Structure 1
Amino acid sequence: MDKYQVLKETFGYTTFRQGQERLVDSTLSGRDVLGIMPTGAGKSICFQVPALLFPGITIVVSPLISLMKDQVSALNAAGIHAAYINSSLTERQFYKAMDFARQGRYKIIYAAPERLMTESFLALAKEVPISMVAVDEAHCISQWGQDFRPSYLKIVDFIQQLPVRPVLAAYTATATKAVKEDILCILGLQNPDVLVTGYDRKNLYFAVEKPKNKREALLEYLRKNPEKSGVIYCNTRKTVEEVHQQLVQAGYPAVRYHAGLSEEEKKQNQEDFIYDAAPIMVATNAFGMGIDKSNVRFVIHYNMPKDIESYYQEAGRAGRDGEPGECILYYSGQDVKTNEFLIEQQVKNEEFGREEQEVIRERNYERLRKMTFYCFTNECLRDYILRYFGEYGGNYCGNCRSCLTEFQDVDVTEEASGILNMVVTSGQRYGIQAVIDAVHGSDSAKVRQFGLQENSYYGVLKDRTIVRLRQILNDLLVKEYLWLTPGDYPVLKLGEKGREFLQEGDRVQVFLKLPKDQEKAENKQKVQKKRAVENVKYPELFEILRQYRYQMAQKAHIPPYIIFSDKTLREMSTYLPVNREEMLEINGVGTNKYEKYGKAFENLIQDFIYNKNIEK
């Protein structure tokens, strides 16, 4: 048999996809290879075809039990004798598999990296001819990869123990320049054929949304797409449980998947999803590796992932058949805090020294920062992802939310100058909210605590809205005029472009890219604020304001409603006005009442925002 016969008779394909044949040929010629190919590009074919043509056994190192089971099941179904060696086997199953391997019954053996250096597996490896070792998910060997697994370092020790060095083939879907160099160096690939087929999946649509209510946004999406199959990724098991329950209660055929479920339930739910018995999967990132379901039409990230690598790999599970797929990310500020917590937990759980832990922590925070910027950029989302992986093309793809929105460039040079100067003159010691409050002229608890009201740039942008200032500051972060330090209390630092801007003075302009209907939307929001508020967003604050109003009324010997009506307090407790302009937009607050009572209520609201760590 030759490669074409194996491809057709075993796998049912008449032609190789982009890059596959070159990697197959290099492997068959005895050359090491590194293939960096996007999810759905057919990486497994690149090492499975040579494995069936080599005289000896191929060992495939794989990180996940579910991935091994799926691929071995698919090979056995195709008539290929394959097995896996991992912790899911009983002692009897393990020894039976080892005996069959010695008898030459298997062409391909999948093994967990932890198994490689065990006495029994090493003994087998020295008894049988091994033609190739294929390393799947090769990015796991790099500390700069999103899924670093120390057990992957055992691969190198294993290779050195073999009587004859086999061909090495490494494959991954996501690898930055640093990760690629790590794979080549740590694995010791000899004269490798390195092929990067490109990260672009033109059939995928990318969007970032910031819904006020994620649950309602998700249900609305599913109502509009009733026949589609998709994956909904959540950051935590708790969120998976909550979202899954909501979908089931709403009548959607959804299943769940996370590490806290029994193996039986995970297996059943995975099968129900793959076979469309339940076309919607709600899962943590524990789900998806090696799942070859071609008709996934959407991947929704209910929470922002911790890095671009994870996001692109998970989003890439949509549209594996080449048909259109939608990749939508629901962002909220809380997602950042959740990911920071997960980063700290991950570092604590790894068996590293203090210096190594610090390096890993800083690396993870930097990747989280880049992921957060993705959620705020108004530039082409696809281009942002591709540039992250070192690919450069046009800045317009025509198939992402940014490219399909009509934008206008708004000159924000004055605002940028105010923000950057505030950061510098305050010693680059404060976070986002403190800087925004200061340039806005807010009398907030943070401003008073840090003494920022004494800064010469205090209040220079008091006529701009908090929303607009936050947009501009986020854009300055994305464009690297500023950067945030990692850790629990991030502070703003001046970036290289920020220094250049301040040195150049008025000769440099800064533009903010905004949707053309942004101004209309902001005006509409102001009109809506004039309407009565039926439901209070922060009932606890409403009680604080009501009690204060009562005490004030008692001292003044007037009815409480004379000060402000309940309707007015409800609006304050929903929209959180913290300055004169915002307070005057509230129903029932006129100039006279503001001068008489407004400042006291502002201070209460500012303290509430600070104590509850609310982002406006």
Structure 2
Amino acid sequence: MQSVPTARDTLQAVFGYDSFRPPQETIVDTLLAGGDALVIMPTGGGKSLCYQLPALVRSGCGVVVSPLIALMQDQVDSLRELGVRAAYLNSSLDPASAAAVERALRAGELDLLYVAPERLLQPRTQALLDEASIALFAIDEAHCVSQWGHDFRADYLELSILAERFPGVPRIALTATADARTRAEIARRLSLEEARQFIASFDRPNIRYRMALKDNPRQQLLRFLRDEHPRDAGIVYCLSRRKVDETARWLRQQGFEALPYHAGLDSAERAANQARFLREEGLVMVATIAFGMGIDKPDVRFVAHLDLPKTVEAYYQETGRAGRDGLPADAWLVYGLQDVMKLRQMMDSSQGSEEHKRAEQQRLNAMLGLCELTSCRRQALLAYFGEELAEPCGNCDTCLEPVDTWDGTEAARMALSAVYRTGQRFGVGHLVDVLRGVDSDKVRQFAHDNLPTFGVGNALDVNQWRSVFRQLVARAYLAVDLERYGALRLREKARPLLKGEEALPLRRDSRPAGGAARRRTEKASLPDADLDPALWESLRSCRMELAREQGVPPYVIFHDRTLQALCLERPQDLEAFGAISGVGERKREKYGPAFLAVILEHREQGTTD
């Protein structure tokens, strides 16, 4: 068995890091000792290292189960740049290339092999693995095994065969998002009940969370992009394919390099757009949730949602694609009650069981509740995953611009009373007309102008009443009855409020949408205000040129964080260059001369100016 110092030596020599992040070292130790592990770690937390490093230290080849071809290619490109003997087996390979990979595996010439779950389950592949020396099995994106999840993959259900067929080989399952129920399901379905569980902090302190009501959402998005991310890479999520296409086209008209991505596109166009997003800088990908799982691009500076995500898990995973490099990033969202009604209609018409539908409704309620918070969003987000944050984070909109609240108790009682007295059969629009005393045909048709609640709420305008109803839905006092086209009905929780037994503070919808903005200029692409803009851009240009020569994304050469260190420390020789975090031995020799030349040229220009 290899010792921990060997693992540390490999960490420095191959990956260019001096130390582990918690709990990476303990996970690596577990696998080196032959144990199994279930790892829940946020996107950008360093999950890949947890299996890549022990695969290099242990004898044999590490086999990684990954659900997406693009992710495999990205990981293999990055590993090869580090000098790691990595390959993948998937449908993108022609027969000759696949045969070459199989020969390399049998000959012990691979350190890591990436395969799709459906490929792994083929008898031919399992026979191939029987002939090879296997260091470990890593099951990435393990939440795909959960039938409660939004990324369910049926092939993942069969991966328990690894425990049966290769009982002596350690296994590690990894995912960024899993509540207690999903963790239990992963462990059960993958035969990892006895595995050691590692649950890292879900907190991503570099991400600023911001949520606002929809009020001309396109213009809200445009302000956000122009003011804060004019040249940055980012993702804009939409609920429908049509909206994706229309939004991407509109952003291009506004001067942004925007590409669409959804399951309705031709597969070649989809792959080309994803490749461009990974390899070019400053692109905006407008997408449905079909895009993003496993995307390893570290310099995504924002994730924007033009529609409400279905669950907090989905929101967390999608926003987690921003700021993987640890540098500042934004999670920006706009929402409205129509989003809730549309999502509930989709859930109601799904083929799932009643139990599944009820669980999804509860998760949607939790997502809407997160939007309607008046307290720290990060505290609530972490609490959803069972983690406590002692103090407000100071980096979300409700912390930076505290929400203005008002005593909505009486207004809420009026609203609930209107729902009850009209028979719980009408939607928001009609209820607002009743409360404001509007003499409409519909009000007269149902004789609602004779109700005690008719006209009692004319002190509030239409938008204020809509806000009251939206917050009552979000806080589970009211439910939306989809069978009655969005009619509102009382829930049990409304009883104490109607009886006057509790008070209800409501948020005042008066802030401009977006809030807590970081105003940015053309120099805003600098990740640190102390960086020299000229040297920063020269280093980025050097990285882009090298990336084009190698045919890989720029971040495969170096992450922004490594460029930032180069810009600040300005090493003068290869030894100092190799001491920069993220520069291993292979990259020091391969890229050191080019970057040192850029730094030297910049210094000489500074002395002659």
TM-score (norm: length of structure 1): 0.75
The aligned counterpart of 2:369 is: 373
Q: What pairs up with 1:270-349 in 2 under 5 angstroms?
A: 270-336=274-340, 339-340=343-344, 343=347, 347-348=350-351
Distance 2:166 2:177 in 1: 32
Q: What pairs up with 1:168-567 in 2 under 5 angstroms?
A: 168-225=171-228, 226-262=230-266, 264-336=268-340, 339-340=343-344, 343=347, 347-348=350-351, 356-394=352-390, 396-425=392-421, 428-444=424-440, 447=443, 452-453=448-449, 455-484=451-480, 489-502=485-498, 505-514=499-508
Task: Give, in angstroms, the shift of residue 63 of structure 1.
Answer: 1.4
SS in 2 for 1:403: helix
Letter aligned with residue 373 of structure 2: T
Answer yes or no: is 1:107 the counterpart of 2:111: yes
Distance 2:401 2:157 in 1: 46
2:234–2:282: 8 Å Cα contact kept in structure 1? no
SS in 1 for 2:172: strand
2:312–2:363: 8 Å Cα contact kept in structure 1? yes
CA, structure 1 residues 393+430, in 2 after alignment: closer, same or farther (shift >3 Å)? Answer: farther
CA, structure 1 residues 276+158, in 2 after alignment: closer, same or farther (shift >3 Å)? Answer: same
Deviations 1:553-602 (A, max 9, x none): xxxxxxxxxxxxxxxxxxxxxxxxxxxxxxxxxxxxxxxxxxxxxxxxxx
The aligned counterpart of 1:580 is: none
Answer yes or no: is 1:16 the counterpart of 2:52: no
Residue 121 of structure 1: which of 121, 125, 130 is its match? Answer: 125
Distance 2:185 2:90 in 1: 26
SS in 1 for 2:508: strand
Letter aligned with residue 212 of structure 2: E
CA, structure 1 residues 42+339, in 2 after alignment: closer, same or farther (shift >3 Å)? Answer: same
4+ long deviations beyond 6 Å: 515-518
Task: Give, in angstroms, the shift of residue 506 of structure 1.
Answer: 3.5
Residue 137 of structure 1: which of 125, 137, 141 is its match? Answer: 141
The aligned counterpart of 2:579 is: none
1:84–1:109: 8 Å Cα contact kept in structure 2? yes
Task: Give, in angstroms, the shift of residue 43 of structure 1.
Answer: 0.6
Letter aligned with residue 197 of structure 1: A
Distance 1:318 1:232 in 2: 11
Task: Give, in angstroms, the shift of residue 44 of structure 1.
Answer: 0.6
Deviations 1:112-150 (A, max 9, x none): 122232221122233334342211111111122221222
The aligned counterpart of 1:70 is: 74
The aligned counterpart of 2:572 is: none
1:248–1:254: 8 Å Cα contact kept in structure 2? yes
1:255–1:278: 8 Å Cα contact kept in structure 2? no
CA, structure 1 residues 57+190, in 2 after alignment: closer, same or farther (shift >3 Å)? Answer: farther
Answer yes or no: is 1:87 the counterpart of 2:83: no
Letter aligned with residue 474 of structure 2: V
Deviations 1:76-128 (A, max 9, x none): 22222222222333334333333332222223222212223222112223333
Letter aligned with residue 148 of structure 1: F
The aligned counterpart of 1:32 is: 36
Distance 1:513 1:109 in 2: 52
Distance 2:76 2:226 in 1: 37
Distance 1:132 1:496 in 2: 52
CA, structure 1 residues 215+422, in 2 after alignment: closer, same or farther (shift >3 Å)? Answer: closer
Gaps of 5+ in 2: 513-609
SS in 2 for 1:467: helix
Distance 1:95 1:446 in 2: 72
Distance 2:158 2:449 in 1: 58
Letter aligned with residue 368 of structure 1: L
The aligned counterpart of 1:579 is: none
Deviations 1:354-410 (A, max 9, x none): xx5444344334333333333333332223322222223357322222222244442
CA, structure 1 residues 9+449, in 2 after alignment: closer, same or farther (shift >3 Å)? Answer: farther
Distance 2:485 2:187 in 1: 37
Letter aligned with residue 314 of structure 2: S
Is the deviation greater in 309-318 or in 452-461?
452-461
Task: Give, in angstroms, the shift of residue 158 of structure 1.
Answer: 4.2
Deviations 1:292-320 (A, max 9, x none): 33322222223322222222212122222
1:257–1:287: 8 Å Cα contact kept in structure 2? yes
Task: Give, in angstroms, the shift of residue 17 of structure 1.
Answer: 1.5
CA, structure 1 residues 188+451, in 2 after alignment: closer, same or farther (shift >3 Å)? Answer: farther
Distance 2:22 2:482 in 1: 40
1:24–1:50: 8 Å Cα contact kept in structure 2? yes
SS in 1 for 2:331: strand
Q: What pairs up with 1:531-610 in 2 under 5 angstroms?
A: none
- RMSD of aligned residue pairs (Cα, Å): 2.9
Letter aligned with residue 261 of structure 2: Y
2:90–2:116: 8 Å Cα contact kept in structure 1? yes
Task: Give, in angstroms, the shift of residue 430 of structure 1.
Answer: 4.5
CA, structure 1 residues 403+446, in 2 after alignment: closer, same or farther (shift >3 Å)? Answer: farther
SS in 2 for 1:231: strand
SS in 2 for 1:402: helix
SS in 2 for 1:109: strand
- Greater CA radius of gyration, 1 or 2? 1
CA, structure 1 residues 112+358, in 2 after alignment: closer, same or farther (shift >3 Å)? Answer: farther
Distance 1:426 1:102 in 2: 74
Task: Give, in angstroms, the shift of residue 169 of structure 1.
Answer: 0.9
CA, structure 1 residues 8+478, in 2 after alignment: closer, same or farther (shift >3 Å)? Answer: same
The aligned counterpart of 1:540 is: none
CA, structure 1 residues 447+68, in 2 after alignment: closer, same or farther (shift >3 Å)? Answer: farther
TM-score (norm: length of structure 2): 0.75
Letter aligned with residue 393 of structure 1: L
2:141–2:294: 8 Å Cα contact kept in structure 1? no
Distance 1:31 1:385 in 2: 32
2:232–2:281: 8 Å Cα contact kept in structure 1? no
The aligned counterpart of 1:42 is: 46
CA, structure 1 residues 443+181, in 2 after alignment: closer, same or farther (shift >3 Å)? Answer: farther
